[in-house]
């Protein structure tokens, strides 16, 4: 690929514009960007009219120039003021800066990304102000983020496959500030593995706290979205969880999640022995056969059973 700007041209650019800092570079590029946008608009306008600005051999009775409309646009270099040409017949539809569009920077995508990471409207405003010098109101942020709501609802209700070999179900607990107070929330997450071995997030639901009744509602939604059969569910030890699964998928196997089981076991063990006992259990869970796993469990019981009977019983 040819160089856009040679080193000699770069030196001339630095000398002519008295560039001494990174801020100076940004300001020069900003002006260059504005000039390029303006020239592209003029080129598009000439194409629409069918003649150039100073072309004298044209039909004066046809469509013609009718001044400019001043427009502020948001770019990667900050906010720019450009002049959009107007024609008398109102036929000009610019492509480089479409009508009714002020953002030509991709900032909308950045706002959605920052919002998805949990940033507040004020945080997003400050971030864009610091990075791009762009003033984005809270109302504008809300309008942009609202655009993804229909896509989220479509994803939440999309059809699913009829068979999943594994489905993992768990909740993530977090605190949120709402109406001036901090409350607990639970994000119910369902991850499925289909018969080809592909993992997919089947859904995320928000609730007040983790209860089996809420999981029953989620299981019903999975059935309504097309999941007819699940071979194995992997879940934690939440009371009533197994009964909820049996009500929706009576033929499925239910397996206690290893991580949850190990956490439950280690709560009976003081810190000084947790690492050693967890290492012994790792050998158990990695056993190649049921027989070798049972032998490892016997070995663990012989080694730790007297000292920590509740852990072994768990």
- Do the beta carbons of residue 308 and residue 268 sit within 8 Å? yes
> Which pLDDT value is given to residue 35?
80
Q: Are 122 and 138 in contact (CB under 8 A)?
A: yes
pTM over 0.85: no
pLDDT of residue 1: 41
Please provide residue 302's backbone torsions phi and psi, each rounded to the nearest 5 degrees.
Answer: -65, -35
Q: How many angstroms separate the CA atoms of 67 and 276, rounded?
A: 80
Give me the pLDDT at residue 106, please. 64
275-281's contacts with Cβ under 8 Å and 24+ in sequence apart are 277/304, 277/308, 277/311, 280/304
Strand partners, 84: 69
Inter-residue contact 19 to 25 (CB < 8 Å): yes
Q: Is 195 helix (H, G, I), strand (E, B) or coil?
A: coil
Report mean pLDDT in 10-residue bins for the chain, 314 residues.
Answer: 63 79 76 77 81 66 79 76 84 79 68 73 74 65 75 88 94 78 85 94 82 85 94 85 89 86 86 88 88 90 89 83
Which pLDDT does position 196 carry in this prediction?
93
* Pair of tokens at residue 13: 């650019």
Handedness of CA 197, 199, 200, 202 (dihedral sign): positive
């Amino acid at each position: 690929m040819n160089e856009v700007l040679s080193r000699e041209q770069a030196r001339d650019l630095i000398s002519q514009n008295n560039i001494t800092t990174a801020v100076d570079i940004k300001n020069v590029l900003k002006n260059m960007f504005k000039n390029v946008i303006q020239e592209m608009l003029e080129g598009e306008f000439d194409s629409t009219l069918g003649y150039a600005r100073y072309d004298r051999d044209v039909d004066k009775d046809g469509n013609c120039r009718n001044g400019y409309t001043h427009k502020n646009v948001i770019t990667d270099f900050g906010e720019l003021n450009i002049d959009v040409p107007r024609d008398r017949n109102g036929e000009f539809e610019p492509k480089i800066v479409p009508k009714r569009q002020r953002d030509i920077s991709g900032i909308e995508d950045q706002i959605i990304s920052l919002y998805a990471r949990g940033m507040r409207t004020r945080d997003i405003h400050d971030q864009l102000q610091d990075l791009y010098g762009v003033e984005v109101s809270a109302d504008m942020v809300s309008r942009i983020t609202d655009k993804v709501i229909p896509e989220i609802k479509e994803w939440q209700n999309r059809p699913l496959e009829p068979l999943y070999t594994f489905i993992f179900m768990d909740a993530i607990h977090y605190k949120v500030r709402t109406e001036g107070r901090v409350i607990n929330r639970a994000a119910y997450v369902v991850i499925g593995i289909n018969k080809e071995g592909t993992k997919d997030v089947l859904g995320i639901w928000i609730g007040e706290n983790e209860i089996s009744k809420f999981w029953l509602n989620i299981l019903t939604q999975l059935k309504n979205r097309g999941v007819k059969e699940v071979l194995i569910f992997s879940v934690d030890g939440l009371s009533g969880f197994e009964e909820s699964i049996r009500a929706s998928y009576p033929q499925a196997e239910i397996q206690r999640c290893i991580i949850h089981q190990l956490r439950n076991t280690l709560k009976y063990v003081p810190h000084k022995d947790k690492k050693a006992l967890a290492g012994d259990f790792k050998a158990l869970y990695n056993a190649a056969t049921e027989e070798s796993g049972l032998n490892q469990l016997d070995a663990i019981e012989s080694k730790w059973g007297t000292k920590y009977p509740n852990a072994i019983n768990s």
